[in-house]
Amino acid sequence: MVEMLEIFDMNWVAQGIRLSVPLIFAALGGLLSERAGVINIALEGKMLFGAFAGVAVTWWTGTNVVGLIAALAVGAGIGWVHAWFSITVRADQIVSATAINLFALGVTAALIPAIWEGGRANTPGVERFRRFEVPILADLPEIGTVFSRLSWFDYGALALAPAVWLVLWRSPFGLRLRACGESPEAAASVGVNVIRTRYTAVMLAGVFAAMGGVYLSLVQNGLFQRGITNGRGFLALAAMIFGKWRPIPVLGACLLFGMADSYQLRAQSKSDLPVELFQALPYVVGLITLVFVGRAVAPAAIGRAYVKD
């Protein structure tokens, strides 16, 4: 029992943050898209594309920064495709997102053996983004551990939540975006370009989700693996709902899931409890949290296509 409690140390916190970062990026992307009125079930597929593109381009160019930029561009591109389906075609948003998810899962896996001879489920390793020690803070007792085990991405993810809040609730663009999600007709009547705003939001969601994917491939693993996201895109959606479509609570939900994941990983090594069951812990925690969400907090026009008169 004492051993199980020993898990809760600063290493647990640092690892928890790292595990929640892909969720934070994806969930904030989903939040932007859904606040603009487009359901974003396609986060998983966008993460996969980002993770794959990041590794492929890093492998070709030998520079992970180029890989990162390419991944974000691919994220924006997939976001555009998703936007075209949901906004221009006005297809069922769930169906078109499922198409993206299936396509992403299949194509990123099918291309591994095509690009890298011999590899079946994994790509070869590429240069990762490294963690770094924050001067002074890393030398502090206890908490210093955290400041020496994170990368720029981690600090960026933590800062992104307040930034998204600031943009959505304190800028004219944010007001327009939210108006598109609550009542596109009313927004249009006061001159908001609903179509363009929704496109922007969904493409930004693509960029954010791709960032979450890149984090998995270029920061955590240094390679791409078949189905590397393993449902994190959906876990991010659960966090977004649990946080009631608000950036700071969403950040909190992602951290909660990340800490649960960190706990299960560390508990595995410290006990002989079944690894397989522990792997399900983040999903079980996700499902349990959803029980406590109140009803009807989603943006009012979510999932509804906007038809211009």
Smallest distance, other proteins to C-beta of residue 241, A: 6
In the complex with other proteins, the residue whose CB is nearer, 4 or 95, is: 95
Closest approach of other proteins to the CB of residue 191, in Å? 26
**DSSP symbols for 148-180:** TSB-HHHHHHHHHHHHHHHHHHHSHHHHHHHHH
Q: Which of 15, 33, 101, 217 binds other proteins (CB under 8 A)?
A: 101
Smallest distance from the beta carbon of 128 to other proteins, in angstroms?
25
Give the residue with the Cβ less far from other proteins, 104 or 157.
Answer: 104
Could you tell me the smallest distance in angstroms from the CB atom of residue 271 to other proteins? 15
Closest contact distance (angstroms) between CB of 91 and other proteins is 4
Asked whether the beta carbons of 44 and 229 are under 8 A apart, the reply is yes
Which residues are registered as beta bridge partners of 120?
A: none
Task: Name residues contacting other proteins, limited to 111-140 (CB under 8 A).
Answer: 111, 113-114, 120
Tell the smallest beta-carbon distance from residue 113 to other proteins (Å).
6
Site for other proteins in 199-238 (CB under 8 A): 226, 230-231, 234-235, 237-238
Residue closer to other proteins (CB basis): 142 or 272: 272
The Cα–Cα gap between 280 and 120 comes to 25
Per CB under 8 A, 104 contacts other proteins: yes
> Does 267 help bind other proteins (rule: CB under 8 A)?
no
Judged by CB under 8 A, the residue of 55, 100, 179, 260 near other proteins is 100
Task: Measure the CA angle with vertex 205, ends 204 and 206; round to 5°.
Answer: 85
Q: How many Cβ atoms from other residues are within 10 Å of residue 302's Cβ?
A: 18
Minimum Å gap between C-beta 181 and other proteins is 16
Nearer to other proteins, 19 or 150 (CB): 19
Compute CA 196 distance to the chain's CA centroid, rounded to the nearest angstrom: 23
Phi, psi at residue 122, to the nearest 5°? -125, 155
> In the complex with other proteins, which residue's Cβ is closer, 186 or 287?
287
Q: Which window, 101-109, 162-170, 175-183, 189-197, contacts other proteins (CB under 8 A)?
A: 101-109
| Residues 45, 77: Cα–Cα separation, whole Å | 12
What is 226-280 written as a DSSP string? TTTTTTHHHHHHHHHHHTTT-HHHHHHHHHHHHHHHHHHHHHHHHS-S-HHHHHT
H-helix or E-strand spanning residue 309: none
Q: Work out whether 103 is an interface residue with other proteins (CB under 8 A).
A: yes
Which one of 68-76, 94-102, 153-161, 171-179 is the stretch in contact with other proteins (CB under 8 A)?
94-102
The string of DSSP letters for 76-145 reads HHHHHHHHIIIIIS---HHHHHHHHHHHHHHHHHHHHHHHSTT-SSBPPP-PPPPPBPPTTGGGSTTTHH
Closest CA to 19 of 247, 285, 245: 285
- With CB under 8 A as the rule, give the number of residues binding other proteins: 50
- Of residues 29 through 88, those in contact with other proteins by CB under 8 A are 39, 41, 85, 88
Footprint of other proteins (CB under 8 A) = 39, 41, 85, 88-92, 94-96, 98-107, 109-111, 113-114, 120, 226, 230-231, 234-235, 237-238, 241, 274, 276-277, 279-280, 283-284, 286-287, 290-291, 293, 295-296, 298
